[in-house]
Amino acid sequence: QKEVEQNSGPLSVPEGAIASLNCTYSDRVSQSFFWYRQYSGKSPELIMSIYSNGDKEDGRFTAQLNKASQYVSLLIRDSQPSDSATYLCAVNIRQAGTALIFGKGTTLSVSS
Amino acid sequence: DAGITQSPRYKITETGRQVTLMCHQTWSHSYMFWYRQDLGHGLRLIYYSAAADITDKGEVPDGYVVSRSKTENFPLTLESATRSQTSVYFCASSTGEGTEAFFGQGTRLTVV
């Protein structure tokens, strides 16, 4: 089992809808969780970080963390075609020391 | 603000040749990382470094060598390139353990 799991998608939503992206991780002591967005042919860019249980909101993005369930999610409200990209979940895994381990990513497609 | 830069951006090399990918950051971040990204596998950690002269293996280190004599540079060397090392390589840096990583533009390496 890979340490960070995501559904690969594609996830397709209409413009204006809420997109929900999910991620599970294996290391119970992980403390740092991140969502990155990657456009085709580009490098990953950070969009959200979350360290505590609960919700964290930033504009149209909300990250949700549940450490007991080892689950982190990203909600994108009022989805726009420009949100179409691959979303990568990253977790600080104990076995990797200080590094982040990434899931394979979920591809989101927002249709206008 | 140059940030983190990788060179070359594109490289074609032959099987068995040694090739070095360069990574330079201007932020004085302590931590630096090398990832490779392949279709179906996502981003996988090759090596990471917590400080100058401190390096450690990641998920897929075989066939790669790193060094870090200066904080700002973290070159990745493929000692004898194989076709399976055809990939997009990303260098990243961060300020501390488990903190967000910032990525370079990537190097697309093709081994023929």
Coil, helix or strand at residue A3: coil
pLDDT range class, residue A96, cuts 50, 70, 90: low
**With pLDDT > 70 as the criterion, what percentage of chain B qualifies?**
98
| pLDDT on residue A7 | 87
| pLDDT on residue A99 | 84
B-chain residues near A65 (CB < 8 A)? none
Cis peptide before B8 (omega within 30 of 0): yes
A-chain residues near B100 (CB < 8 A)? 34, 46, 49
| pLDDT on residue B1 | 59
Which residues of chain B are at the A interface, by a Cβ-Cβ cutoff of 8 Å? 31, 33, 35, 40-45, 48, 50, 56, 58-59, 90, 94, 96-106
B-chain residues near A96 (CB < 8 A)? 45, 48, 58-59
pLDDT range class, residue A9, cuts 50, 70, 90: confident
| pLDDT on residue B23 | 98
B-chain residues near A101 (CB < 8 A)? 45, 59
Residue B61 has pLDDT above 70, yes or no: yes
- Taking CA atoms, what residue in B is nearest to A97? B97
Query: Mean per-residue pLDDT for A61-81?
Result: 97
- Taking CA atoms, what residue in B is nearest to A98? B97
Query: Mean per-residue pLDDT for A45-57?
Result: 96
| pLDDT on residue B64 | 98
| More confident call, A29 vs A45 | A45
Average pLDDT of chain B is 95
Query: Mean per-residue pLDDT for B4-9?
Result: 98
* Window from A94-103, B33-42, B86-95, B97-106 with minimum mean pLDDT: A94-103
Partner residue opposite A96 with nearest CB, options B42, B45, B96: B45
Does A43 sit within 8 Å of B58, measured CB to CB?
no
Query: Mean per-residue pLDDT for B80-103?
Result: 95
Does B105 sit within 8 Å of A34, measured CB to CB?
no
Average pLDDT of chain A is 93
User: Strands A4-6, A19-25: parallel, antiparallel or unpaired by DSSP?
Assistant: antiparallel
How big is chain B, counted in residues? 112
B-chain residues near A104 (CB < 8 A)? 40-42
Query: Mean per-residue pLDDT for A43-68?
Result: 96
3-state secondary structure chain B: CCCEEEECCEEEECCCCCEEEEEEECCCCCEEEEEEEECCCEEEEEEEEEECCEEEECCCCCCEEECCCCCCECCEEECCCCHHHCEEEEEEEECCCCCCCEECCCEEEEEC
Residue among A21, A43, A41, A42 nearest A33 (CA): A21
**B16-43 pLDDT, tens per residue?**
999 999 999 999 999 999 999 998 888 9
CB of A25 within 8 A of CB of A1? no
